[in-house]
Structure 1
Amino acid sequence: MSKKVTMQDIADKLNISKNSVSQALRGKEGVSEETRRLVIKTAKEMGYTYVGQQKSNPQPKRTGSIGLIASDVAFSLKNFFGEIFLSIEREVAAKGKYLHIQSINKEQKEKLILPPFIEQKKVDGILIISHISNKYIQKVLDTGIPTVLVDHHHPNLEADAILTNNRFGAYLAVQHLIELGHRDIAFVGKIDYSPSYEERYEGYLLALKEYGIEPREEFIFQNAIEEEEKVAGYVRSLKNQPTAWFCVNDGFGFFVLSALKQLGMEIPKDVSVCSYDNGQLSQLSSPKTTTVDIDLNLYGKRAVDMLFWRMENPNEPIQELLLTSKLIVRESTGIAPGFGKTE
């Protein structure tokens, strides 16, 4: 007959006091949420059943509300994140919940000040749009409230995430340029701005590698600033112009296209431009820009679905869901100058 597992056995295994184990199992204050979860997990693994646990530590009472937070910078990017916000709002309302929304400014980020609805646990779940800072996101996760990250992830953040397959999307864009005969392909973007941008840069490099094209250092602007004059300066700085540009987003694409036209270059006769996101700027530019499309409505829908699933399944493994991107070919990309001609 096997020995009955006791609270002391759990305490010894975790190297904590028996009192801490008791507090965790009873749902009492005095232990962190992380310790509480660890004790309950260990007790379950060891086969320990606390008779009063279900009464003393019931499922948390539902508030009927969901929280959504993002940096004030993300909120300002209405062409991209605005559609995601609206999609989330619709989905949350369809599920009969109320949505609390708050932007996080620089001071709140640096001082790790959480919104009151999170600090006071007045929401059943949280959606974090884009990056704020990993320290800030970790503080949100430490509350124990189910949380899903949207368009952001990091190896040290243990949270579900909805992401775009940025690497493959960028790969398809650069592959498109290569198949049009381009070999001198520039990259412009600020890759440390977000994991998404870094992944797009990786997709650019992957496509070049698979087609046996050596990246040219002078054509890579990976710490670029998204301002018209700055981008024009990058373009003018090149002694030898590339025949194509891959831009990390539509804003950079718009500025590159404008700068090239100022130099008297015809697009796509002399040079091609391809960007990412399929936002308004890609459609307002002249010519309209070839870009990579993201289904922003689906982004929001999947984020809400995942959060509600997590709320009901708090102990399931962390998941990351990648949404595919689609290349939209427009007038800004064409056959590379001289491609296909024979002497």
Structure 2
Amino acid sequence: MELIQKNAKRFLNTPISVLDLAPITQGSNASETFKRSLDLAQKVDAWGFNRYWLAEHHNMPGIGSSATSIIINHIASGTKHIRVGSGGIMLPNHAPLMIAEQFGTLESLHPGRIDLGLGRAPGSDQLTARALRRTLFSNGDDFPDLVEELEAYMSEEATTGVKAYPGLGLSIPIWLLGSSGFSARLSASRGMPFSFASHFAPDYMHQAMDLYRSRFEPSDKLDKPHVMLGVSVVAADTDEEAEYLSTSRKQQMLDLMRGNPGQFKPPVKNLADHYAPGEIAALERNRGASSYMTGSPETIKQQLTSFIEETHADEIIISSDAFDHEARVRSHEIVAELLS
């Protein structure tokens, strides 16, 4: 009993944030998606969630957050307290000066509420990456140089001949995001907070956290390691309902595995009626059991508590998608109720 109470206390003291993939549901459009995202953001803001992040993806019919900075402004303008940011901006797709100016503008519009999360992947397929890149020669290996360049544009101490206006001298937290050890090592060496996509690369989660924590070097930005882990959560009033709702996300992942991404589909009673057994088995192998949470309030509480106790994460960011907007809101509300 004492251990259970200790675990529950740690869970309640762990900040919970939201990653919104801005799903465009089947039969819907981007305009409706952005309205739903704002409605969700306003609710989780009132419920005490810590951050609301949006991710850069391209050439994906079911994801509406490709122009990430614009959507961040949309969400920040309609909320009051919650921090809003990118989870993340795929820096190799952009000139660092442009990102420094964009986020300098966002911070100037919404002081003290903007986060800049940076990733090194293109967030798209190779063909789309070629269409996005400012040069055709960047493969992500120059990511450390791009991060340093971006920071220099906003630093009053750096001796570059170009500065970001707005952006110069503003205190905008920069996070490095990753699903391998690369960004873990880089964020540790630069004394930055680190966010790991546990739901994308569960097999590397502990290795990446260990790398980050063991190699962390304090900086003027951060005096000790801070790691935020991404998990997928589909919560409903019963385990059965949650499992049914989760089939929308599973269909999205299965379609992506087929190389045929589409809009976010309604849930189905039986995935086996739509996908081959081998495809479903491959999906389950690729999913980390501990970072994919589906169930009733009590089930989610047990899963989240166990996950936080296992990882000692400083923060959790949940991705909780459902086809029906009210079901999606309810999923976040259940997590909020666990925190209260």
- Give the TM interval when normalised to the shorter protein: under 0.3
Q: Which has the higher contact order (CA 8 A, sep 6+)?
A: 2
| TM-score, length of structure 2 as denominator length | 0.26
Asked which structure has the greater CA Rg, the reply is: 1
